[in-house]
Structure 1
Amino acid sequence: MLLQLIRKYSSGKLWQEVAIPVPWGEIRGKWWGPTDIRPVLTLHGWQDNCGSFDRLIPLLPDNMSFLTIDLPGHGYSSRLPSGLHYNLSSYLVTLKYLTNYMKWKQVSLMGHSMGGLLCYTYTMMYPKSVDFLACIDGLILFNYLDLMAKAIEDFPKNNQFSFDKVESPSYFIEEIKQKIHKPHGGSIDLTNTEFIMHRNVALSQTNPGKYYFTRDPRLKSVDLYTFSQEEYIRHSPNISCPVFLSKFTQRMFAKEIFQELKRVLQKSEAHIVEGTHHGHLNNPERHAVLLKGFFDRFELDKNRSKEVREEIFV
């Protein structure tokens, strides 16, 4: 059934499964478009996977490539070793492993939510290494002290669950869809939950007809403690590449930081888009037209370097 879902809901622009080695295993993902040019490295949000871009990427220019990856512990990518915590630093290190392995002198970045935060932070840290950045409803900056305390408190339990031999709780497909739909106030339309589901569940071996979530239980102990809003604003003028920012109307992202970043960035455009936090999945055409305009404005679809490693395709 999962294979059927992949074929059914990822039709359109062709993609190939990829596997990139990292010290703890591999990072999996989908390469969309031509395989002889450097792709846009594309990162999903917390507890999602690269399937969240399955409806958006086919609407983007055919002469561009996109590498949508599953972050560690998500989708088909390997989990971090036992005892380690998923946090901003571990994801940034993953990006550095990927860019080093691919031997990219520069990288193009696009991300949604947590993925947008990672992309923005990476660009802020390595401004000369990024040739453009697109953040879709990312940069949700809060005081993370309370969240960190809860994450640390829950981590030992979730770490044990991560490496237990006992299968996780299993559910019928309609229950799985509800569990993907309900977070973020029903952000993902029920009809679109299957785009996340097919890299997120496996058939139960103990309960016939049911499925269980395969993502790492440690992801429940969210720890994305990051720079303060003031630090992001102070360091953002160092970013010289073109930057695309978007904010969905039904989301908590503070409008003040959104407008301030737009002011201090050298080359940027910012858009407020109607929709929920997963609007790029529910209504991808709204973002596609904006992104294509961004690519055209800065001629980002031209002169893409030919830096590809054929051995990553599986």
Structure 2
Amino acid sequence: MGLFRNGSKLINYLITARNISGTKPFQEVSIPVPWGVIRGKWWGPTDRRPILTLHGWQDNCGSFDRLIPLLPSHIGFLTIDFPGHGYSSRLPSGQYYDQTVYLLTVKYIEKYFQWTKMSLMGHSLGGITSYSYTMLFCEKIDFVACIDGVKPLVFRKMIPHMAKSLDRFVRNNEFAFDGTEPPSYTLEEMKRKVQAPNNNSVDLERTVYIMQRNIAPSKIHEGQYYFTRDPRLKVNPLFGFSQPELVENAQKVTCPLFISKCKDASYYEDKQNFYETLDVLKRSSADCDFHYINGSHHVHLNSPEELALLLSKFLEKYYVVDTQGGLKEEMIVREKETNSILL
């Protein structure tokens, strides 16, 4: 079975995440898109439209495995792997990962289900994507929930930033398709690599939830593993919005909006940009429910209890059962197929 076929050590290491995830049943699913498939987990009721749930940069849908079981059980959640992450297909050679790709992923999922309305939730990059999609199509959105990531980031010195990104993309694109195996590490080394970004944002014992869909056994070095996510993901975006544009268009976000900001996390841009946009949202949104949360950037994975309590109150207030756009039989990935897509 894919990731578990290379010995009992990896089985024992990863089984904890599967057991904990199983406290609230989910089904592994696959959704067709023009470049391949989007994989994910469908949690809870399958006879109604779920909340489309989007993860952060270089994470995967496993990062929600500890939060979702704490949220209301009558609400369905479709947590997906973005392109190039987890079990989802990579983009074709030469294609750049940027915000457009993530917005298109949401659009293709909307089209697949023929949803006339949507509910969105996301962390970090997923929160930015959820908010950006809402900014573009607010009339289609019931509500949006953003966990330590809301407005698109505004980069300083964009021109040298773009030049460096283009050079790095060409190198990483060649590496992604030259057939060589990526660098491999022991499990302990991989845990530390997953933990390190964003000032050691992920607790060491929680790294398993991200690793579960992101690694494969090395065919060259016995007992070592490599990351299966697309190396082109490491390249920064080429384009973005200006702060005046974002402030102006925040006025279009009129639906209920949940925003949580982790106290121990960075703002990843000028702090003022965030609060300038937030001030507009507090006036434009039907309910801008803003909270500071104790914890790091990955608080939804490390210690989700406080967040789950606040988020549950918001969801109970605004979630409406929509029986159109539920789970399709054709989406279900049978157990024998799980963990095999990238191996």
TM-score between the two structures when normalised by the length of structure 2: 0.87
Query: Runs (4+) of structure 1 moved beyond 6 Å?
Result: none
Task: Answer with 234-243 or 304-313: which moved more.
Answer: 304-313
> What residue is the counterpart of 2:155 in the other structure?
143
For residues 204 and 5 of structure 1, do their structure 2 counterparts lie closer, same or farther at Cα, with a shift above 3 Å needed? farther
Compute the RMSD of aligned alpha carbons: 1.6
SS of 2:323's equivalent in the other structure is: coil
Residue 118 of structure 1 is matched in structure 2 by 129
- Does structure 1 residue 209 correspond to structure 2 residue 223? yes
Selected match of 2:36 from 25, 29, 34: 25
- 1:171 aligns to what SS in structure 2? coil
Task: Specify whether residues 6 and 17 from structure 1 end up closer, same or farther in structure 2 by C-alpha distance, changes over 3 A only.
Answer: farther
| 8 A contact 2:29–2:39 mirrored in 1 | yes
Q: Identify which of 284, 304, 318 aligns with 1:284.
A: 304
The answer for unaligned runs of 5 or more in structure 1 is: none
Which of 292, 296, 299 lines up with 1:272 in the alignment?
A: 292
* 2:198 is equivalent to residue 163 of structure 1: no
Contact kept? 1:262, 1:270, Cα under 8 Å: no
> Deviations along 1:48-100, whole A, 9 cap, x unmatched?
10011000000000000000000000000000000000001111111111110
- Give the equivalent residue in structure 2 for 1:260: 279
Counterparts of 1:61-210 in structure 2, within 5 Å, are 61-138=72-149, 139=151, 141-143=153-155, 145=158, 146-210=160-224
Counterpart in 2 of 1:312?
A: 331
Deviations 1:254-285, CA, capped at 9 Å, x for gaps = 25236424423322110111111111111111
How far, CA to CA, are the matches of 2:74 and 2:53 in structure 1? 16
Any conservation in 2 of the 1:39–1:65 contact (CA below 8 Å)? yes
Residue type of the partner of 1:10? S
Counterpart-to-counterpart distance in 1, 2:247 and 2:283: 7
Paired residue secondary structure (2:207):
helix
Cα distance change, pair 6–281 in 1 and its aligned pair in 2 (3 A)? closer
Taking the aligned partners of 2:34 and 2:275, their CA distance within structure 1 comes to 40
**Equivalent of 2:62, from 45, 51, 71?**
51
Counterpart amino acid of residue 53 in structure 1? F
Assess, with a 3 A threshold, how the Cα gap between structure 1 residues 147 and 111 changes in structure 2: closer, same or farther: farther
2:253 to 239, 246, 252: 239
Give the letter for the 2:119 counterpart.
S
The one-character-per-residue Cα deviations of 1:11-46 (angstroms, maximum 9, x if unpaired) are 211011000001111000000001111100000010
The count of aligned residue pairs is: 312
Q: Distance in 2 between matches of 1:52 and 1:224?
A: 26
Distance 1:26 1:62 in 2: 27
String of CA shifts for 1:106-145, please: whole Å, max 9, x gaps.
Answer: 1110000011111101001011111110011113623251
Check 1:240–1:232 CA distance in 2 against 1; reply closer, same or farther (3 A cut).
Answer: same
Contact kept, 8 Å, 2:152 with 2:240, in 1: the verdict is no
Mean CA deviation greater in 1-10 or 231-240: 1-10
**CA deviation string 1:180-218 (max 9, x = no partner):** 001111000001000000000001111111100000000
Q: Does the 8 Å contact 1:137/1:248 carry over to 2?
A: yes
Determine helix, strand or coil for the equivalent of 1:257: helix
Partners of 2:77 and 2:238 lie apart in 1 by 25
What is the alpha-carbon distance in structure 2 between the residues aligned to residue 202 and residue 147 of structure 1?
32
Deviation at 1:222, TM superposition (A): 2.0
**How many angstroms does 1:234 deviate by?**
1.1
